[in-house]
Structure formats: structure tokens, C-alpha cells
Structure 1
């Protein structure tokens, strides 16, 4: 049996390489070595630690799928979001819809066993910066799934002429790798093209709809668009649910600002800011809060003032209008 020094070297190398199987194998060799030397308590502790670690790794690896390879790697971007549902500030109605999706997905096996599929094809529509991408991140985190983002505008421009075959690769992955698949900027594909651009674009849209109809309920498919009005009406009935996002109202705006500022906003009134927040998206409000925070911190303060926030909101409104 190898010496302890060799075991330690092997442990470090396997850990650095991310090779769990080798790491555990070497650890068990160390346990066997200690047991042979009469150190039975230590040997049992090592074996128990290995068993516990394997269980944790098994749970975590539900989300830690291998990075996409080959052609698929050029089509999707994988991430493992850490955004919780409570961090998403949207209307109560929208929150209820998202909670329903999560609940059905958590009961997916029970539903499928009885012949019912959970909601898994979602269309998210609304102005930019209102929480659509964040919702996909929330679903991925709450369900312990990886998120695969497909940039449709890039797919169309880069692979015009072979987009259909590339889409098939993505939908094959939908069946093979459970995850949240976000088709961002969906209007690039789903626009109502009534003009002359009806050739390749129509074929791509038809391919997408066929793939969507046949898609495996193994994964969650999300199409996000900023432009509901230019989508082909036929698309809406292909989804299990359509979630509509709006600009935040005054209450939601205050919640967004306070959430981003955290302790920096302690004791600061955010009431009656609607004249400054109206027309701003969630993303705009976050940027304004960050600007106010940096201003306060750079002058040596531990709190922002209401004036800091108002000034930042005014600047953000000017930038948005401009």
C-alpha cells in the first residue's frame, strides 16, 4: 500500500483536477491503511466523511452539468443562477403564476405518472428590464437546475441557412439535459413577418414551433420578448402560460431601490417618489440605487440620503429619455 505522503499527493492532484471518483478512492485507501494500523475510529470517520460528501455531491451535481461541447457550445451559454424568488419584485399576480410553475415542476413526477405535464413552455413578455431574465434565473435556482441561454438574434445572424438544424441541436439537449432553456430576444424569431422576408425566417419559425410542440417536458423552455405587439398571434397558443411584465408601480419601485441599497437605506424614507420613478424599469431603478450608493460611500457616508436617491433617479430618467 502506498505511503501516506503519496496518498496526500494523490488527494491534492485529484482535488485540483475536480476528479471526485479518484479523490474518494484515495480517501478510502487512507481509511483502509488506518484500519490496518488499528486506528479503527479514524478509519470509520474517514469512510463516513466520504459517504456524506458523496451524498452532497450527488445532490449538487443535479445542477452542475458538464459544459456544452461541440456545436452546442456555440449556441448556448450555461450558468447556475443564485437568485431566489423573494428577490424578484413583481406584481402579486405574476408572483402567483411563477409560484405555480415552481410547484408543478416540484410535483412533475406525480403529474407525469398520472398523465399530466407540468407547465414547461413559458412565454415572458414585457418592456426591457422588468424581470424576464431574472425570472428564468429564479426558476433555475428554485428548482436546482442549470440555465441555458440561447441568443436567438445571434443564432439567426450567424447561422442563417442552417438555423433549423442548430435549433434541433438545442431541442435535443432539452430532452437530454434537464434545465431551464431561455430563448432570449424571441421577437427576433417570432415577429409577424408580413413583408417580403418570408423565406428563411418563415421556415425557421415553423421549425421552432414544431420543436416546441414536440419538446420533452423534461426541461423548462422559456421564450422572452420585449415586443409582444410584433409577435405572430399564432405563437401564444403554443405556450402553456404567458407571463406579462410591466414597469414597476410606486410601491414596487421603492422595494427595488431598498433591496439594492440594503443597510445603506436604513432610516431613509422612500415614500412619494413616484414622480421620479414613473416610467423607469426595474433595471433602471437598480442602476439609480447603485449610483446613489456609490456617491454616498465615496464621500465617506454609511447611509444614502433621500436627495442622493432623487438625484440618481432624475439622472436615470434623463438617460432613459435621451
Structure 2
């Protein structure tokens, strides 16, 4: 029972197998106690509403469903993963069925072994400024494997948390007072299982634009003028790395329908830039006014600004005429 279809899911199956044999039985025993408490709370809630028979039946039905899920938690979790992975595999197979992270990392390794060292040496011998380009290429070749490992670690850690906490959270579903926790957990379980689907869609997008092969990648090969092949390969690797790290964010906002979160972040960035520009203009205006004030002080009498002494100050009472 191996639900993994991509390289980053291989370690996840190993983690799930280890947790299923040691941790899950103990968690299930605690979940059974929570189920009984939630059932009693649900019965009391129905009684507090004047003996609501409909709510009582719903509580008993949820108790039966939760007991079945908790009792077969490992199988249930694997079945959910297999269902979403089947969708991801169907999408991925529509454009050749390739693993983006595994394939591109292998191409990077082969290209570096064949051409990387010679290209770096040619860039270094071209001048001092070219050394900066060589460092950028080296960093670019390191960013993609690092991004793949970060994405894999996040996927495994979040999946392990969902797998371990699932029986405890679902056990409280029979009670209407705390079943919102179970609903939130189910939503996050769906979001996490959709990461492979978003990953497969991204791989299909790269295949559709003919970008899965280094020799035909269309992103920077013609856009970076007079650049060596290693430069635009490194830039493409950085682009793929950023897209991989954005998969959890895309899955969260898109599947929850919170498009306003992305728009709010963009508006916040624009507001910050406008505030910085306004602050800079205020500082510049203050310096200008300070300079003009100093010039006026230098042209007046003493250390103060010039004032016509023949004109009385404002709000001066009229002078009384004495006979």
C-alpha cells in the first residue's frame, strides 16, 4: 500500500508506516475516550434544547461514523491519499508523466558534471566582473536542490502532524460545541492532499511550454542577451525553485477561496511603498524649508529673521492722544 507517485512522497510513506505501527494505536485508545465524552456532551446538548430528537439522532450517527474512521484510521488516511494522488497522476500523465523535481535535479547534475566547471572557468578568465556571474551560477545550482528538500520536509512534517492528530481531532465531532475543530482539520487535510495535484499541474505547465528539457527551455534562453548557457539554466532553476515553494501557499488560498489574501498582501506592499515615498518627500521638503529658514536668518538683524520695525506688531491697542 504505497500511495507515493512522486519522488518527494517516498519518504512520506516511510514515515507513515513507522507511525502506524507504534504511535497510532496509543493515539486511538485516547481517541476512544474522547469519543465517549463527545457523545455524552452531544446527548446533553440535545436534552438542553428541550429533547431535540433530530439533534440526538445526528449525534448518534456522527458517533458511529467517527468510531468507524478512528478504528480504521491508517486505512482511511491511506485511502484519502490514494484518491488525491490518483487525480494528480492522471493530470501528470496527460503530459508525459514526469516528476519535475527529480528530472530537473538530475539534468542539473549531469549538466554540471559535463559543462559546469568549464563554463565557470571561462567566465572567470574573462575578467573580474565575470566572477560575480560565476558565483550567481553556483548559487542558482544550489537553490533548486535546497528548495526541493525544503518542500519535501514541509510536506512530510505537515502530513505527519495531520496523520498523528487526526484521531484525536475527529473524536470530538459528535459534540456540536467543539466539532468546528474537526471541520477545520478536514479542510486542512484536503488542502495538504491537494499539494501533489498543484505539483502535477505545474509539471504539466512546464511540459506544455516545452520547458522540461534544458536544451529547449524557453524562459531565459532568448531573453538574456549575450548570456552563456549556464546563466539562463541557473535562472530557470531559480524560477522552478520559487514555484515549488509557492505550492503550499497556492493550495491554501485557491482551495479555500481566499483570493482576497493575495490581493491584500499586494495592496499592503503598495501601501508600504507609497508610505516610504511620502516619508522621503517629507524629509526632502523639511530639509528645503530648513535651508530657506537659515538663509532668512542670515539676512536679518542679529540671529532672527528680518522684520520691518516701523510696523507695529499685530493686536496692538491704539495709542491714546494726550492734550
Scaled by the length of structure 1, what TM-score is found? 0.23
Question: Greater share of helix residues, 1 or 2?
Answer: 2
Question: Greater share of strand residues, 1 or 2?
Answer: 1
Scaled by the length of structure 2, what TM-score is found? 0.23
Query: Rg larger in 1 or in 2?
Result: 2
Greater RCO between the two (CA within 8 Å, min separation 6)? 2
